[in-house]
């Protein structure tokens, strides 16, 4: 039987990879994917703690979290497409119009 | 007849109601506005005259005046009431104000005919009449002060009635500001009185003065402050400068406000608070001397003016000076008697020259003369007024002016007496100078002599009635002294009467020789008097003195303060405003618009927080 530690470690590693990708990738779609990765790291933690803690709550939260992630991905992709079509911007570093 | 007393409040209320109606519906009434105003003022005048007998009977029977009022304000333990108090003095003022207001309004129907703001004019006239009547029935200082300011406001509005002319607008402003200087004195006096006695009621204040509760110096200060207010309103030297300029207003206004009623309010105020003055010999001296000096100075200035309406304005200052002189030497009766006769004959003189101005469309003596052939009735009424003013028996001015002169002589102050008698001579000269130059000599008028004719009937009727008054009011001295209960009109005695009459006749004769005998004229008089004549003509440079000594320094100070405000205070305030903006400009650079930068900062911050809390928690 595997203990709680490896699950939590997997979540941490997944989150760190996601965060690193979100901060460094130039492609907006890759950044979106990295954000999904971070969300899923959190989901793994939810399920792990739920399973070891004896409460079903965490697993139900994961369902909600997945729905939110799906919505976020849909809007995020639509935004990326919109920006690309209207402004011909592919690099996330060039998306810096929202400032003072 | 007590029923009449109970509705005495209607006398001031009706004209005020007319003002309210005219303000609301005046523009729809058009020419009818005048008749509404005349109707209400007329009822008030009839009521004022009818009140005389029952109110004076009441006064005699009860030994105190009829009072009516309601509580208006409750401040702590003090109740301020508005109402009506029918003392002898008030009863005398009511018919004077209301009857002359009525006659002048009838006259104004003709004079103001065709003016674009005709209803407005009558609304202001009604407001003035109501305020003046409310002023003279005041039972306390507070009501007096409220309406004192109201009549000042009406004066301002009516002087500036033709505000399109910059001269009129300036004159209105000048009148308002100069009288305000006096009003401040009155207001401070009222504060002092309240502080000392805790009451605004005249009866309480006068009782406090007579029972010597207040110190001598304090009473003198109050009396002088009240007199400052009175001098501002009654255009006494050195606050007289506004009244001649006020002649920019329509002539009915000059007749009603700046001759017969409002300017007499100062004299009324001194008579009303006379016990306060009587308690201070110094204050009485000031009143007498200011009156005598005003009478004399204004008469000399009147000699040399070429604007004939202004001559009559200076004459008003001079006559008000006589009234103050009369009060200053201790005779309320003489002062108030002269106020009564003066109100009638000066209103008459104004209405008569108003008719000339209406027809000839000028106020300059040099532009119009020889009108006798065209305006006989106007000329006759003018000469009746002139006889009354110069004090020829049996016209009204003779009786009242001699009363004042007799009071001065009996007091034995020869300086005052000399000024008083000299002014009689000058008065006769300047008013007959106007008369002779206007109605005799070469026949001319600025828009053609042939176009001039008598004024309309609506203007002639009030002139005729006032002319009768100018002949008749002199015989009512006994009634007035009984009503006032302040002693008889001082007996003139043959010496004073003959001297005054001879001086007046000499003045008339001199005017006749100067202006009607060919080969002699004003130029010769000017040569004879040299620089003195120039001083008269330039009004002793008093206006220039005020301009240099008061107006320009005040404006310079204001300009300096404005500069300081703009340069120092505004700069400081604007810097305080600009500082956050500049800081914001700098900090705004941190907002790059790059989402990854924000995320990086956020992540690093969270990591740091976690580290800090872990380290902190482990301690």
The answer to whether residues B583 and B575 touch, using CB atoms and an 8 Å cutoff, is no
Query: How close B595 comes to chain A (CA, Å)?
Result: 8
Task: Report the complex ipTM.
Answer: 0.85
Q: What is the rounded average pLDDT for all residues in chain A?
A: 90
Indicate yes or no: CB of B588 within 8 angstroms of CB of A96: no
CA-to-CA dists, residue B82 to B71, B266, B274, B493, B495, angstroms: 6, 21, 22, 44, 48
| Better-scored residue on pLDDT, B466 or A2 | B466
pLDDT in tens, A63-76: 999 999 999 999 99
SS3 sequence of B199-243: CCEHHHHHHHHHCCCCCHHHHHHHHHHHHHHHHHHCCCCCCCCHH
pLDDT in tens, B423-440: 999 999 899 988 888 888
Average pLDDT score over residue span B565-582:
90
Query: How close B602 comes to chain A (CA, Å)?
Result: 11
Burial class, B67, CB count within 10 angstroms (exposed 0-12 / middle 13-18 / buried 19+): middle
CA-to-CA dists, residue B144 to B56, B78, B85, B188, B273, angstroms: 22, 17, 11, 14, 12
**The pLDDT value given to residue A70:** 93
Give the residue on A whose Cα is nearest the Cα of B597: A23
Mutate to test the interface with A, among B582, B596, B603 (most CBs of A within 10 A): B596
Burial class, B382, CB count within 10 angstroms (exposed 0-12 / middle 13-18 / buried 19+): buried
Nearest CB among B588, B589, B599 relative to A23 is that of: B599
Indicate yes or no: CB of A99 within 8 angstroms of CB of B592: yes
Indicate yes or no: CB of B588 within 8 angstroms of CB of A100: yes
Which of B187, B198, B189 has its CA nearest to residue B219? B189
- In whole angstroms, what is the distance from residue B56 CA to residue B264 CA? 22
Nearest CB among B592, B594, B599 relative to A22 is that of: B599
Structure-derived torsion over alpha carbons of residues B119, B124, B130, B135, reported in degrees to the nearest 10: 180
pLDDT in tens, B32-43: 888 888 999 999
- In whole angstroms, what is the distance from residue B560 CA to residue B569 CA? 13
Structure-derived torsion over alpha carbons of residues B3, B344, B251, B389, reported in degrees to the nearest 10: -170
Mutate to test the interface with B, among A17, A20, A23, A26 (most CBs of B within 10 A): A23
Nearest CB among B593, B596, B603 relative to A98 is that of: B593
- In whole angstroms, what is the distance from residue B269 CA to residue B237 CA? 17
**The pLDDT value given to residue B619:** 63
**What share of chain B in percent tops pLDDT 70?**
99
List residues of chain B with CB under 8 Å from any CB of chain A.
588-589, 591-596, 599-600, 603
Indicate yes or no: CB of A31 within 8 angstroms of CB of B603: no
Indicate yes or no: CB of A100 within 8 angstroms of CB of B603: no
Query: How close B597 comes to chain A (CA, Å)?
Result: 8
Average pLDDT score over residue span A84-100:
82
Indicate yes or no: CB of B596 within 8 angstroms of CB of A100: no
Q: Which residues of B touch A93 (CB under 8 A)?
A: 594, 596
- Residue B476 pLDDT grade (very low, low, confident, very high; cuts 50, 70, 90): confident
Query: How close A84 comes to chain B (CA, Å)?
Result: 16
Burial class, B564, CB count within 10 angstroms (exposed 0-12 / middle 13-18 / buried 19+): exposed
Question: Could you give the 3-state DSSP secondary structure of residue B82?
Answer: strand
Nearest CB among B589, B593, B600 relative to A23 is that of: B600
Give the residue on A whose Cα is nearest the Cα of B588: A100
| Better-scored residue on pLDDT, B272 or B3 | B272
Question: Could you give the 3-state DSSP secondary structure of residue B411?
Answer: helix
Q: Please tell me the number of Cα atoms within 13 Å of B151 on its side-chain side.
A: 30
pLDDT in tens, B298-338: 999 988 888 888 999 999 999 999 999 999 988 888 889 99
Q: Is the pLDDT of residue B27 over 60?
A: yes
- In whole angstroms, what is the distance from residue B351 CA to residue B103 CA? 10
Residue with tokens 């000339």: B356
Token digits of residue B503 = 């001086």
- In whole angstroms, what is the distance from residue B336 CA to residue B342 CA? 10
Mutate to test the interface with A, among B584, B593, B610 (most CBs of A within 10 A): B593
Residue with tokens 């001269």: B167
Q: Is the pLDDT of residue B1 over 60?
A: no
- Residue B496 pLDDT grade (very low, low, confident, very high; cuts 50, 70, 90): confident
Nearest CB among A22, A23, A96 relative to B593 is that of: A96
Q: What is the rounded average pLDDT for all residues in chain B?
A: 87
CA-to-CA dists, residue B478 to B326, B483, B488, angstroms: 17, 9, 7
Q: Which residues of B touch A92 (CB under 8 A)?
A: 594-596
> Which segment of A92-96, B459-463, B513-517, B519-523 scores lowest on mean pLDDT?
B519-523
Degrees to nearest 5, angle at CA A34 with A28 and A36: 110
Give B591's DSSP letter. Answer: -
The answer to whether residues B534 and B459 touch, using CB atoms and an 8 Å cutoff, is no
Token digits of residue B468 = 């009768």
Size of interface A-B (CB pairs under 8 A): 28
Q: Which residues of A touch B593 (CB under 8 A)?
A: 95-99
Identify any residues that bridge with B71 across adjacent strands, giving them in sequence order: B81
pLDDT in tens, B504-561: 999 888 888 888 877 677 777 788 888 888 888 888 888 888 888 888 999 999 999 9
Q: Is the pLDDT of residue B118 over 80?
A: yes
CA-to-CA dists, residue B227 to A28, B156, B296, B314, angstroms: 91, 21, 19, 20
Q: Any residues with CB less than 8 A from the CB of A8 and at least 6 apart, and which? A: A45, A48
- In whole angstroms, what is the distance from residue B45 CA to residue B537 CA? 40
CA B600: distance to chain centroid?
A: 82
The answer to whether residues B382 and B353 touch, using CB atoms and an 8 Å cutoff, is yes
Q: Which residues of A touch B581 (CB under 8 A)?
A: none
Structure-derived torsion over alpha carbons of residues B206, B132, B107, B232, reported in degrees to the nearest 10: 70
Helical ranges in chain A per DSSP H: 4-24, 28-53, 57-87
The answer to whether residues B345 and B329 touch, using CB atoms and an 8 Å cutoff, is no
Nearest CB among B593, B599, B603 relative to A99 is that of: B593
The answer to whether residues B129 and B104 touch, using CB atoms and an 8 Å cutoff, is no
Give the residue on B whose Cα is nearest the Cα of A99: B593
Indicate yes or no: CB of B593 within 8 angstroms of CB of A97: yes
Give the residue on A whose Cα is nearest the Cα of B591: A99
Q: Is the pLDDT of residue B2 over 70?
A: no
pLDDT in tens, B203-259: 888 888 888 777 778 888 889 999 999 999 988 988 888 888 888 888 888 888 888
Q: Which residues of B touch A24 (CB under 8 A)?
A: 596
> How many beta carbons lie within 10 A of that of residue B330, not counting itself?
22
pLDDT in tens, A34-64: 999 999 999 999 999 998 888 888 899 999 9
Residue with tokens 């005349």: B38
Indicate yes or no: CB of A93 within 8 angstroms of CB of B594: yes
Nearest CB among B588, B592, B603 relative to A23 is that of: B603
Q: Which residues of A touch B586 (CB under 8 A)?
A: none
Give the residue on B whose Cα is nearest the Cα of A23: B596
Token digits of residue B497 = 């009467």
**The pLDDT value given to residue A71:** 94
Q: How far apart are the first and last CA of chain B?
A: 104
The answer to whether residues B81 and B70 touch, using CB atoms and an 8 Å cutoff, is yes
pLDDT in tens, B159-185: 989 888 888 999 999 999 999 988 999
**DSSP E strands: which ranges in B237-327?**
none
Average pLDDT score over residue span B72-91:
85
Burial class, A9, CB count within 10 angstroms (exposed 0-12 / middle 13-18 / buried 19+): exposed
- In whole angstroms, what is the distance from residue B401 CA to residue B411 CA? 15
The helix or strand, by DSSP H or E, that contains position B59, with its residue range, turns out to be helix B32-62
Give the residue on A whose Cα is nearest the Cα of B589: A100
Query: How close B601 comes to chain A (CA, Å)?
Result: 10
Q: Which domains does chain A have, with CATH numbers?
A: 4-98 (1.10.287.3510)
Indicate yes or no: CB of A92 within 8 angstroms of CB of B596: yes
């Amino acid at each position: 039987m595997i203990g709680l530690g490896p699950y939590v470690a997997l979540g941490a590693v997944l989150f760190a990879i996601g965060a690193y990708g979100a901060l460094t990738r130039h492609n907006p779609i890759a950044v979106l994917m990295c954000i999904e990765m971070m969300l899923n790291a959190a989901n793994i933690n939810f399920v792990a703690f739920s399973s070891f803690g004896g409460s079903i709550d965490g697993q139900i939260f994961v369902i909600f979290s997945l729905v939110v992630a799906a919505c976020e991905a849909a809007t995020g992709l639509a935004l990326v497409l919109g920006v690309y079509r209207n402004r011909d911007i592919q690099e996330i570093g060039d998306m810096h119009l929202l400032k003072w | 007849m007590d029923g009449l007393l109970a509705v005495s409040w209607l006398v001031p209320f009706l004209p005020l109601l007319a003002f309210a109606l005219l303000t609301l519906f005046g523009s729809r009434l058009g020419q009818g506005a005048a008749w509404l105003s005349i109707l209400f003022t007329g009822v008030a005048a009839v009521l004022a005259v009818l009140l005389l007998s029952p109110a004076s009977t009441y006064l005699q029977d009860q030994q105190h005046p009829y009072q009516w009022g309601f509580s208006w304000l409750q401040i702590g333990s003090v109740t301020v009431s508005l109402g009506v108090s029918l003392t002898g003095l008030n009863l005398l003022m009511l018919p004077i104000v209301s009857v002359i207001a009525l006659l002048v309004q009838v006259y104004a129907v003709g004079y103001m005919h065709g003016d674009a703001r005709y209803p407005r004019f009558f609304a202001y006239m009604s407001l003035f009449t109501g305020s003046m009547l409310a002023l003279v029935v005041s039972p306390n200082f507070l009501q007096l002060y409220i309406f004192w300011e109201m009549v000042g406001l009406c004066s301002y509005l009516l002087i500036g009635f033709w505000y399109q002319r910059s001269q009129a607008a300036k004159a209105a402003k000048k009148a308002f500001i100069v009288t305000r200087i006096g009003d401040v004195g009155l207001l401070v006096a009222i504060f002092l009185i309240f502080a000392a006695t805790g009451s605004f009621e005249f009866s309480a204040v006068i009782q406090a003065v007579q029972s010597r509760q207040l110190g001598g110096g304090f009473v003198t200060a109050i009396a002088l402050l009240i007199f400052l207010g009175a001098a501002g309103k009654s255009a006494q030297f050195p606050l007289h400068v506004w009244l001649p300029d006020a002649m920019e207003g329509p002539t009915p206004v000059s007749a009603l406000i700046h001759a017969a009623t409002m300017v007499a309010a100062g004299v009324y105020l001194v008579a009303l608070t006379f016990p306060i003055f009587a308690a201070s010999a110094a204050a009485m001296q000031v009143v007498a001397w200011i009156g005598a000096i005003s009478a004399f100075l204004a008469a000399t200035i009147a000699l040399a003016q070429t604007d004939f309406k202004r001559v009559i304005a200076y004459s008003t200052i001079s006559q008000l000076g006589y009234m103050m002189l009369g009060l200053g030497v201790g005779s309320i009766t003489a002062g108030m008697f002269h106020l009564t006769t003066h109100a009638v004959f000066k209103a008459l003189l104004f209405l008569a020259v108003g008719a000339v101005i209406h027809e000839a469309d000028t106020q300059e003596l040099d532009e119009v003369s020889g009108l006798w052939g065209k305006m006989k009735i106007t000329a006759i009424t003018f000469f009746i007024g002139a006889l009354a003013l110069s004090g020829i028996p049996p016209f009204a001015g003779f009786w009242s002016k001699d009363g004042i002169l007799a009071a001065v002589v009996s007091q034995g102050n020869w300086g005052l007496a000399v000024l008083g008698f000299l002014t009689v001579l000058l008065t006769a000269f300047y008013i007959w100078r106007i008369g002779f130059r206007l109605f005799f000599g070469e026949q001319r008028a600025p828009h053609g002599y042939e176009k001039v004719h008598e004024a309309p009937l609506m203007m002639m009727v009030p002139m005729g009635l006032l002319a009768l008054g100018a002949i008749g009011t002199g015989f009512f001295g006994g009634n007035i002294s009984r009503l006032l209960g302040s002693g008889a009109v001082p007996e003139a005695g043959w010496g004073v009467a003959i001297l005054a009459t001879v001086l007046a006749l000499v003045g008339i004769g001199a005017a006749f020789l100067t202006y009607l005998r060919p080969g002699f004229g004003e130029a010769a008089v000017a040569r004879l008097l040299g620089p003195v004549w120039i001083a008269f003509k330039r009004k002793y440079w008093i206006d220039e003195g005020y301009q240099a000594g008061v107006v320009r320094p005040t404006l310079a100070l204001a300009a300096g303060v404005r500069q300081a405000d703009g340069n120092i205070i505004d700069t400081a305030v604007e810097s305080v405003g600009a500082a956050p903006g500049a800081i914001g400009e700098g900090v705004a650079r941190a907002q790059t618009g790059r989402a990854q930068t924000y995320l990086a900062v956020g992540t690093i911050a969270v990591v740091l927080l976690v580290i800090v809390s872990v380290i902190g928690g482990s301690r």
